[in-house]
């Protein structure tokens, strides 16, 4: 939805001709025009350039009208596509879920988006050169390093990690290097407004889960209508992390989670003492703690299915700030009947202590399914702990722990 200010009219002049174009050169960009119909475009003179977020009313691109009017046509198209890709890549969601440093994260996001635009978008259609964008085009030394020094994937999380490892204060890759930074009245740099960036990074007004759903609903709607071109599909896919890679790592890690369920049985008498029950090993067993704080996604269901496929019997413990339930699960069908409990905060140490204090459970290996935003965990006294997190790594005080972090799409 566009308002009637001059900047909005220029965006209309870009978007409307692309909605039903049969020109082969322009048709590749029609997806972005259709996607834009679901975005609220809002003039905001309080920001120097523009930025995107998920507001309470849906996807939103806020912009300074004077800034938009100052851009040549190609630069305006470049800026428009750049902002759309921030939404399509769910960058705000990924930043929050992984608890990244805002300034470094913003630079990593912008560098990756620009590299992809420069690779996939024709300069006949969109280009930032010969405009005011060129002088603030996101740490040019980092963009040069992407082609000359950096050897990782062109993915936000990978570039972010590279920056963290290489951008010490004062280095040529430091996010805060150089003068002329945007500061507030206390001379503190404003988040998302580094001097070498042309857009601002705005905070979402809704929960991370809701923001993810809003964007996915629009993409799926356009896919069902056949409006996602092959080029757009490839560009979106290239900029996203894959859940499957990390869940595969989790599945492999599960192979090392040994343990047996030992039960008393009259079918196998005690070999040493006549008349007493013997023991029967009925399969591998593992303890599982599920964080039910309300921050988890559907990833834990895939993880549980992985454990069942590998023949595990599960001692299933639900916890938020305290243990809510404990039940032994033998099959996927039994798991589907369980009602999830909790929904409070995220303090998992009580569940770990519950296992350690239970003679039967403390000999088992432990799997924890969480978003990572937990208390600092002490798993000492438990054989092995495997953590699957959909957010950030959990803080660990003590214990034999391996963590698999799923980077969200």
293 confidence band (pLDDT: 50, 70, 90):
low
Q: How far apart are CA 395 and CA 375, in angstroms?
A: 7
Could you identify the residue written with the tokens 């290239």? 238
- Provide mean pLDDT across the span 220-226: 85
Phi/psi of residue 400, each to 5°?
-90, 100
The first and second tokens of residue 30, run together, are: 């029609």
Mean pLDDT in the chain? 75
Domains of the chain: 6-240 (no CATH), 245-405 (3.40.50)
Q: How far apart are CA 375 and CA 89, in angstroms?
A: 29
pLDDT in tens, 251-262: 566 655 554 444
The helix/strand count (H/E) of the chain reads as: 15, 13
Query: Is it the case that residue 337 has pLDDT exceeding 60?
Result: yes
Query: Is it the case that residue 133 has pLDDT exceeding 90?
Result: no
> What pLDDT is attached to residue 55?
94
Nearest CA to 239 out of 110, 393, 54 is that of 110
Strand partners, 263: 280
- C-alpha dihedral, 356 to 357 to 359 to 361, nearest 10°: -40
Query: Is it the case that residue 76 has pLDDT exceeding 90?
Result: yes
Tell me, yes or no, if the pTM score tops 0.75. no
- Provide mean pLDDT across the span 268-287: 59
Could you identify the residue written with the tokens 């048709």? 27
Query: Is it the case that residue 311 has pLDDT exceeding 90?
Result: no
Better-scored residue on pLDDT, 197 or 320 = 320
């Amino acid at each position: 939805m566009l308002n009637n200010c001059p900047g909005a009219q220029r965006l209309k002049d870009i978007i409307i001709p692309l909605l039903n174009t049969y020109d082969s050169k322009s048709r590749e960009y029609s997806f972005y025009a259709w996607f834009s119909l679901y975005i609220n475009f809002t003039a905001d003179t309080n920001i120097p350039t523009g930025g995107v977020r998920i507001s309470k009313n849906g996807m939103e691109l806020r912009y300074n009208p004077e800034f938009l009017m100052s851009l040549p046509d190609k630069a305006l198209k470049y800026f428009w596509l750049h902002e759309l890709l921030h939404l399509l890549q769910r960058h705000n969601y990924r930043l929050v879920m992984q608890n990244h440093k805002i300034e470094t994260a913003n630079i990593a996001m912008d560098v990756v988006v620009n590299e992809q635009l420069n690779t996939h978008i024709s300069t006949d259609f969109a280009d930032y050169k010969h405009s005011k964008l060129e002088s603030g085009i996101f740490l040019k030394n980092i963009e040069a390093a992407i082609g000359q020094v950096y050897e990782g994937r062109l993915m936000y999380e990978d570039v972010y990690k590279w920056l963290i490892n290489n951008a010490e204060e004062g280095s040529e890759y430091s996010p805060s290097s150089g003068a002329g930074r945007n500061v507030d009245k206390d001379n503190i740099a404003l988040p998302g407004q580094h001097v070498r960036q042309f857009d601002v990074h705005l905070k979402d007004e809704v929960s991370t889960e809701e923001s993810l759903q809003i964007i996915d609903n629009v993409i799926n709607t356009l896919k069902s209508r056949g409006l996602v071109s092959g080029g757009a599909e490839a560009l979106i896919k290239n900029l996203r992390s894959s859940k499957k890679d990390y869940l595969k790592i989790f599945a492999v890690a599960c192979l090392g989670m040994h343990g047996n369920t030992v039960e008393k049985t009259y079918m196998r008498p005690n070999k040493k003492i006549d008349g007493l029950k013997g023991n029967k090993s009925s399969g591998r067993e593992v303890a599982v703690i599920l964080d039910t704080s309300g921050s988890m996604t559907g990833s834990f269901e895939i993880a549980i299915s992985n454990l069942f496929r590998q023949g595990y019997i599960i001692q299933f413990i639900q916890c938020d700030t305290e243990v809510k339930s404990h039940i032994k699960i033998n099959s996927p069908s039994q798991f589907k009947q369980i009602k999830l409990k909790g929904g409070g905060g995220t303090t998992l140490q009580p569940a770990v202590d519950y296992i350690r204090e239970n003679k039967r459970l403390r000999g088992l290996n432990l799997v924890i399914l969480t978003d990572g935003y937990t208390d600092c965990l002490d798993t000492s006294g438990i054989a092995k702990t495997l953590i699957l997190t959909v957010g950030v790594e959990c803080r660990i005080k003590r214990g034999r722990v391996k963590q698999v972090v799923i980077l969200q799409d």
